[in-house]
């Protein structure tokens, strides 16, 4: 169940998504939290970094892992504005993120509820607790407006 702190961290993720949009990137932002403190954050950067893996989630995980000097990030929560893709969900599993909180569904490439339901699969060796729909309208609006303006 969502808490007031969840909304605060999602607000920061939305701010990061707006930064991505200002750079011409798809507006997605992510914040990784441990014990109530931000340990990593990121926004989409695949175009600017010339890196197809530079999704907001991956950037946040890399930031946290480098800071902690550990590729495992147990007991953390990742807040992301849009439902993760397969690459990002797999990275969350490998990093041992405990909880995923995301805003809007991603009907084309989301794999948590839109397609595949990867969070419910029992073949992973790690289970992520998932909460969706936190500030979904605002997150979805950012993406819709971004693509509307590009057309």
So what's the pLDDT on residue 2? 86
So what's the pLDDT on residue 125? 94
Catalytic residues: 57
Nearest Cα to Cα of residue 138 among 81, 67, 88, 86: 81
Single pTM value for the model: 0.97
What are the 10-residue block averages of pLDDT along the chain, 151 residues in total?
93 98 98 98 98 98 98 98 98 98 97 96 96 98 93 76
How far is it, in rounded angstroms, from Cα 11 to Cα 15? 6
Query: Tokens in use for 108?
Result: 């084309």
DSSP per-residue string spanning the chain: ---HHHHHHHHHHHHHHHHHHHTTS---EEEEEETTEEEEEEE--HHHHT-TT--HHHHHHHHHHHHHT-S--TTEEEEEEE---HHHHHHHHHHT--EEEEEE--TTT-TTTTSTTGGG-SSSSS--EEEE-TTHHHHHHHHHHHHHHH-
């Amino acid at each position: 169940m969502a808490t007031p702190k969840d909304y605060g961290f999602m607000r920061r993720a939305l701010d990061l998504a707006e930064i991505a949009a200002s750079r011409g990137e798809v507006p997605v932002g992510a914040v990784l939290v441990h014990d109530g403190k931000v340990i990593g954050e990121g926004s989409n950067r695949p175009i600017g970094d010339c890196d197809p893996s530079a999704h907001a989630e991956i950037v946040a995980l890399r930031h946290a892992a480098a800071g902690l000097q550990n590729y495992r990030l147990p007991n953390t929560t990742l807040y992301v504005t849009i439902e993760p893709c397969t690459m990002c969900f797999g990275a969350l599993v490998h990093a041992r993120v405990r909880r995923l909180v995301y805003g809007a569904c991603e009907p084309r490439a989301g794999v948590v509820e839109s397609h595949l339901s990867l969070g419910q699969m029992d073949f992973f060796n790690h289970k992520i607790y998932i909460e969706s729909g936190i500030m979904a309208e605002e997150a979805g609006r950012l993406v819709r407006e971004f693509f509307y303006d590009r057309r």
